[in-house]
C-alpha cells in the first residue's frame, strides 16, 4: 500500500494511504501519524487523521516543503512494516432508534428521498437485504464501529462498521440534502454512520437519536471538561438500543450534567480481529459488560 502525497496550499501535506476505505488503510494512517508525532519534526504544527489518509500542517518558514515531504515519505515507508495495533477506548453510545423527532423530520423531507413511501430505516433494510426493520437495527447496533475520522462539523464522528465488507451497511445519502437534522441524530451515508453534534442541514439517512452529547462548547458535561469535542480518531463506538423511557432518563441526567458514558480502555489488534471478526467483536463488547 503506497501512500500518495500532495500539497494543500503553502503549509499542508496530505498523505492518501489508499483510494478505497479499508481497515488496513485506516490503520496505516493511524500508524503514520503516531510515527510522525514521535519523530518531533521541527516545523510540524498539527496532525489530522482521515478515514484512509492523514494531513500534516507545517510552518514553511521553519521547514521547506520539499524537506517535509522527504522526511514524511521516509517515515511513511517504514511504518508499512509496523504491527497494526492500537491502544484506544471503547464507548457505549445509547441509541433510541425510530424516535419521533427524526421521524418527523424525515417525513417533512420525503420529496428529497429515493423512496418517499418508506422511512429511512425501511429503505435501508430493504436495499441491504434485511427482511425487517428490526433485523436491520440489530445489524446496526450488534457490531462496534471505528471512529475513522472526526470533523466536517464540530466534532462529528465518521463511523466505519467493524464487520466483513460484504456485511457492512451501505445506503446512499438523500437525493437532495435536508435543511434540518435534529441534534444528535444517528445517520448513515455510503459506508459510514455518523452522529450529528449540532442541529443543521444534512443528507444522511436518519436511523435514530442519542441523548449523549459529543460536542459541548461550554464544557459543562463532566466527561467533556478536558475537551469540548468528545470523539477521538481511533475510538470504538458500540451502540446500545434504548427505550423512550431510558432516553428521557438520560436527558434528565444530561440536563443535570450528571450523564456519564460507559468507557473502557482496550488494546486492539487488527490481525487478530481479521482472523475471527465476530469472536473478536464479542470480546470487545464484553469489555463494556465488565464492572
For 68-104, the pLDDT digits (tens) are 999 999 999 887 666 788 999 999 999 999 999 999 9
Per this entry, what is the length of the chain?
Answer: 291
Strands 4-8, 12-16: pairing kind: antiparallel
How many CB atoms are located within 10 Å of the residue 281 CB? 18
Mean pLDDT (whole number) for 26-47: 93
Domain boundaries for CATH 2.40.100.10 within the chain: 87-289
The pLDDT, as a whole number, for residue 154 is 87
* Residue whose C-alpha is closest to residue 185's, from 114, 232, 120: 120
Please report which confidence band the pLDDT of residue 198 belongs to, taking 50, 70 and 90 as the band edges: very high
The predicted structure's pLDDT at residue 157:
96
Q: What is the mean pLDDT of residues 18-30?
A: 91
State the pLDDT at residue 19: 87
pLDDT in tens, 105-145: 999 999 999 999 999 999 999 999 999 999 999 999 999 99
Q: Which residues pair with 222 in a beta bridge?
A: none
Residue 200 pLDDT more than 70? yes
Dist. CA 195–CA 191, nearest whole Å: 14
| pLDDT tens, residue by residue, 219-274 | 999 999 999 999 999 999 999 999 999 999 999 999 999 999 999 999 999 999 99
Q: Whole-number mean pLDDT of the chain?
A: 94
> What is the pLDDT, as a whole number, of residue 192?
96
* CATH code of the domain occupying 4-82: 3.30.1360.40
Confidence of residue 291 (pLDDT cuts 50, 70, 90): low
- Rounded Cα gap, residues 222 and 127, in angstroms: 40
- CATH level 3 topology of 87-289: Cyclophilin (2.40.100)
CA distances from 241 to 25, 100, 208, 238, 246 (A): 30, 15, 10, 10, 10
195 CB-side CA count, 13 A: 27
CB atoms within 10 A of CB 148: 24
pLDDT computed for residue 102 by the predictor:
98
* Residue of 69, 246, 111, 95 whose CA lies nearest to 159: 95
| Per-residue confidence (pLDDT) for residue 82, from 0 to 100 | 65
Q: Please report, rounded to a whole number, the percentage of residues in the chain having pLDDT higher than 70.
A: 98
| pLDDT at residue 289, rounded to an integer | 85
Q: Taking residues 25-38, report their average pLDDT.
A: 92
Q: 151, 133, 150, 152: which is closest to 141 by C-alpha?
A: 133
User: Residue 79: what pLDDT?
Assistant: 79
Residues of the chain with CATH 3.30.1360.40: 4-82
Asked if pLDDT for residue 215 goes beyond 80, the answer is yes
- How far is 3 from 26, CA to CA, in rounded Å? 12
Amino acid at each position: 500500500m503506497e501512500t500518495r502525497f500532495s500539497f494543500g496550499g503553502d503549509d499542508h501535506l496530505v498523505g492518501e494511504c489508499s483510494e478505497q476505505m479499508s481497515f488496513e488503510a485506516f490503520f496505516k494512517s493511524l500508524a503514520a501519524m503516531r510515527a510522525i508525532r514521535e519523530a518531533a519534526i521541527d516545523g510540524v504544527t498539527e496532525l489530522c487523521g482521515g478515514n484512509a489518509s492523514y494531513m500534516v500542517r507545517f510552518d514553511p518558514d521553519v521547514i521547506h516543503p520539499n524537506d517535509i515531504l522527504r522526511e514524511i515519505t521516509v517515515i511513511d515507508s517504514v511504518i508499512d512494516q509496523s504491527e497494526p495495533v492500537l491502544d484506544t477506548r471503547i464507548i457505549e453510545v445509547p441509541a433510541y432508534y425510530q424516535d419521533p423527532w427524526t421521524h418527523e423530520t424525515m417525513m417533512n423531507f420525503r420529496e428529497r428521498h429515493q423512496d418517499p413511501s418508506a422511512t429511512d430505516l425501511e429503505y435501508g433494510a430493504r436495499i441491504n437485504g434485511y427482511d425487517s426493520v428490526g433485523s436491520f437495527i440489530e445489524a446496526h447496533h450488534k457490531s462496534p464501529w471505528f471512529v475513522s475520522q472526526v470533523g466536517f462539523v464540530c466534532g462529528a464522528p465518521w463511523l466505519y462498521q467493524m464487520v466483513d465488507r460484504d456485511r457492512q451497511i451501505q445506503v446512499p445519502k438523500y437525493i437532495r440534502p435536508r435543511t434540518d437534522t435534529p441534534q444528535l441524530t444517528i445517520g448513515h451515508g455510503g459506508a459510514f454512520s455518523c452522529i450529528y453534534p449540532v442541529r443543521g442541514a444534512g443528507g444522511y439517512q436518519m436511523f435514530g437519536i442519542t441523548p449523549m452529547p459529543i460536542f459541548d462548547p461550554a464544557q459543562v458535561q463532566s466527561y467533556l471538561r478536558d475537551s469540548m469535542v468528545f470523539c477521538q480518531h481511533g475510538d470504538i463506538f458500540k451502540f446500545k438500543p434504548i427505550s423512550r423511557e431510558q432516553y428521557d432518563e438520560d436527558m434528565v441526567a444530561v440536563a443535570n450534567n450528571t450523564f456519564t458514558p460507559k468507557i473502557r480502555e482496550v488494546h486492539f489488534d487488527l490481525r487478530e480481529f481479521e482472523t475471527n471478526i465476530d469472536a473478536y467483536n464479542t470480546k470487545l463488547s464484553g469489555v463494556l459488560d465488565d464492572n
